[in-house]
Chain A
Amino acid sequence: MTQVNSGIPSAASNGLCSCHVCRLVSRRSRFSRREHCPRCGATLHFRKPRSIERCWALVIASYILYIPANLLVMMETGSLINYRKDTIVSGVVHLWKTGSWMIAVIVFIASVAIPVLKLFSLTFLLISVQRRSTWRPRQRTRLFRLLEAVGRWSMLDIYVVTLLAALVQLGSLAVVKAGPAAVAFGAVVILTMFATMQFDPRLIWDPLQKEEIHD
C-alpha cells in the first residue's frame, strides 16, 4: 500500500501550504524562512510546528503525573457503614470484590487501560515518526484516529468523582470527596488529549514521500 502512494506528489512537494487559521492555500518558495499567510497574516507551516517536540513534552508530563494519579487517593467515600479512601486501583478492586463487576470493568478501562494505552500509543507513534518508520502507516493512522476519538472518554473517572462529590453531600450521613489523585489524573487526561492534538498524523506518511518537511 505504502509503495502505491509513494510516487504521488503531495501539496508540500509542490510548495503549496494551507493556512492553519483561514485554510487559504498559498505557494511557498523558501522553506527555510518563516512565511505568512497573504490573506490573514498567520504564520504558515507545512506541518504542525514542532509537533514531535511538543507532543513528547506533553507525553512526558503525563507519564510523570500518572504516578501520583495512581498512588494518591482518588476518592474518599464515607457512609454510615464505613469510610474509604480509594486510589484508582483499590477502587476498582473494591468494586470487583463487592460484585459490581460491570462498573469495575468500565472504571478499569476508562481510568487505567485507556490512559495507559494512550500514553503507550503516543510514545509508539512518536518514536516511529522520529525514526521515519515506514511500517504500516495506515494502521498507525487508524491508531491515531482512535486516540483522538477516545480522548475525551477517558475523563470518565473524573466525571464520576465530580458528579458524586456534587450529588452525595448528605452532611454527616455520606460523603464523597475527590482526593488529590483526581487532580493529577485529570491533568494526565488533559495532557494526553493535548499531546494527541499536537501530533501531526501527516508525519506518519512523510517518510513514504521521501520528504523531509520540518516546519
Chain B
Amino acid sequence: MTDTPEKNALDDIPEAVSEPKRRFSIQLVWIIPIVAALIGLSIAVKAYIDRGQVITITFKTGEGLEAGKTKLKYKDVMIGEVKSIAISNDRSHVVVTAEVTKDARGLMVKDTRFWVVRARISGGNVSGLNTLLGGSYIGVEAGTYTEPREDFVGLESPPAVSVDVPGRQFVLHSTEVGSLDTGSPIFFRRMQVGQVVGTELDRDGKGVTVKIFIRSPYDKFIKVNTYFWHASGIDLTLSASGVKVDTESMVSILLGGISFEEPEGKGDAPPAPPNTIFSLYATRDDAAKHAAAVEKFVLVFKESVRGLAVGAPVDLRGVTVGEVTKIDVALNAKGTDFTVPVEIQFYPNHLLPKANGQEKAPETGDRMLRRLLDDMVAHGFRAQIKSASLLTGQLYVALDFVPGTRPAKIDWKADPPRFPTVPGSMEKLQKNLIEIVQRIEKLPLEQIAGDAGTTIRSLDSTLKSADQLLKNMDRNLVPEARSVLIESRQAIDEVKKTLADARQTLGGANGVLAPDAPVQIDLRDTMREVSRAAQSLRVLGDYLEQHPEALIRGKKQEK
C-alpha cells in the first residue's frame, strides 16, 4: 500500500450532502428506563396497597403447610397465603401466620373457620384432589359475626357442612361407629339428604356419639319416633320371592352410611327438635323392633298360667305387639289365695290411631299414649290368657276389647303399671268340658244296651214258634196253602235277616255312647219297626190257629 493510490481513492470518494443544523432534541431512548422505573414503582406500590391483614391460626400439626406457598382459599378463591409457620411456646401446636388479601379482610370475623384441606377419601367423597396438584391449602369459611378478629384456632377436620347450608343437626348414639366417618352420607329412601358431621367416643367409652346434619327441607322428615340404622352393610334376605339384596348404595357399602325411617303407618309424629338424641341401630329390622317405645305392664291373673312362658307373644288380633317378660306367683294379703302377676312389654305405637285427616295438635308421645290407653280400657280393652294350641297347651296373652266386662282402670301408680285382665277363655273351656264329661258319665248306656238285647231275644222266640207252626202246617195243609206258607216263611226270613242286621247295628251302637247320637235314634226306630212286624206275625199265627180254613177260603168277612 502506497500513498499515491490512496490519495486517488480519496479523491474519488463523494462528498456528503450537508443539512442545516437542527436544534438539540431529547433522546427518546430515555423513555425506556423511565417506563422501567414506572413499572418497578407500580409493582412496589401495588405490593404496598395489596398488603393484607396478618392473622394467626393455630393447628395441631403443620402437615402439608409451607410458608410462602400454602394458600388460604375461600370458596376455592385464593384469599391469602401462609407467611410463616412457628411452633407455639408450649410446643403443643403450630402457629401459622398468614396474610389475607385486602379484599378478604371482611371475612376475618369472630366465627370464621379454618381447616387444612388435604386430599382425603371419606364419606363417599374424594375431596381435595386438587390439593394433590396444588398442595394442601387452608380452607376458610366465613363467619356470620361482624366483629373482626385476628387470631384463630384451626379445625382439625374440614367442616362437613358449611354454615350457609340450611338444615338441622341431630345426635345419634351407637355402640360402635362402624365405617362411619365425617362426611358419611345419610339416606332417606335411598336419597342422600345429609351427612355425618362428626364422630366421637363417649366419655365413658361405652359407645359412640355420631353427629349428623340433615339438609333442609329433608330435616322435617326426622320425627320424634324416627329410627336410624347403619346402612353400611349388605342385607341378604332369603324369602319366598327369592334372594333379596338390600343395600343403600355402592358408596355406603364401601364407606358406610346411615339410613332413617319413620315407623310405617304409626300416625304422624311431631318433628324432632334440633339436637334430639336418637339411637343408631345395626340393622333396619333391629331398629324397627327397638325403635318403638316400650311400655311395661303387669297383668294379674287368678287362673293357672301353666303353658305361658317368658317370651310368649302379646297378641292383638293376630299381630304380635309385645312379649311376656316375667311370670311370678304371689300370695294375696289375707293369705287365702294366690295370684299370678305376669309382666309384659309391648310397643304401644302399634296402638296409636292413624291420623286419617284429623290432625291433632301433637302431644308428647307419653301423655298421649296414657290417655289413649285409659280411653281404650274404659271401652273394655282387656288382657286375657288364651291358648295358642290345644295340643301343646301353649298360652299367650291376648289384648282385645272384651264386651260385657266390669269397668276397670289402669293402675298407673304401680310399677310397672297394672293393666286390667279378664279370665281367659281357657278357664271357661275347661269348665264346659268337665260338664260335658259329667253328663256323658250319667248316661244309662248299659241299660239301653240290655233293653235292646231282650227285645231281640223275644223276637227270636216268636220266630221260632212261627217256624214250628209252619212245620205243622206243612204236614196238614194243602199244597196251595203251602205255597202261601213258603212265601210267608220267606218274609219271615227277611225279617230274620233284618233282625240280624239290627243286632249288628246294635253291636255298633254299643260302642257309641252318646245317647243322642243319630245311630241310636235310628236303632230305636228300627227296633220299633221290628217289634211291630213281630206283632203282626203273632196275630197272623193266632188267627190261623183258630181258623185254619182261612188259608183255603180266605179271611171271613166280619159281620
Contact = CB atoms under 8 A, between A and B. Distances in A.
Given A50-B29, A79-B133, A173-B133, A85 B14 contact: no
B39 interface: yes
A37 B17 contact: yes
A64 interface: yes
Interface residues on B, range: 20 to 34
Contacts of A61: 32-33, 35-37
Contacts of B13: 16, 25-27
B32 A35 contact: no
A78 interface: yes
Given A14-B10, A50-B27, A53-B27, A65 B16 contact: no
A141 B36 CA distance: 29
A50 B75 CA distance: 56
Interface in B350-400: none
B16 A38 contact: yes
A24 B13 CA distance: 9
B138 to A, nearest CB: 14
Interface centre among B13, B16, B17 (most CB of A within 10 A): B16
A65 B15 CA distance: 45
B16 A27 contact: yes
Given A54-B27, A57-B27, A83-B133, A64 B33 contact: yes
Nearest to B13: A27
Contacts of B129: 172
B43 to A, nearest CB: 5
Contacts of A16: 10, 13
A65 B14 contact: no
Interface string A20-42: 00001111111011111111010
Interface in A5-20: 14, 16-17
Contact of A58 (B29, B43, B132): B29
Interface in A60-77: 60-62, 64-65, 67-68, 72
A27 B18 CA distance: 11
B69 A57 contact: no
B15 A26 contact: yes
Nearest to B41: A64
Contacts, number: 109
Contacts of B16: 17, 26-29, 35-38, 44
B490 interface: no
Contacts of B20: 33-34
B18 to A, nearest CB: 5
A27 B12 CA distance: 10
Interface string A175-211: 1000000001001000100000010000000000000
Contacts of A34: 18-22
A121 B69 CA distance: 36
Interface in A136-169: none
A1 interface: no
A16 B35 CA distance: 38
A58 B31 CA distance: 9
Contacts of B39: 64-65, 68, 184
Interface string B535-552: 000000000000000000
29 contacts: A16-B13, A24-B14, A26-B13, A26-B14, A26-B16, A27-B13, A29-B15, A33-B20, A34-B19, A34-B21, A35-B17, A37-B17, A38-B14, A38-B15, A53-B27, A53-B29, A61-B32, A61-B35, A64-B36, A64-B39, A68-B39, A72-B43, A78-B133, A80-B133, A83-B133, A83-B134, A85-B69, A172-B129, A191-B32
Given A60-B36, A62-B36, 12 more contacts: A14-B10, A26-B13, A29-B15, A29-B16, A34-B19, A38-B15, A38-B16, A38-B17, A57-B27, A57-B29, A57-B33, A184-B39
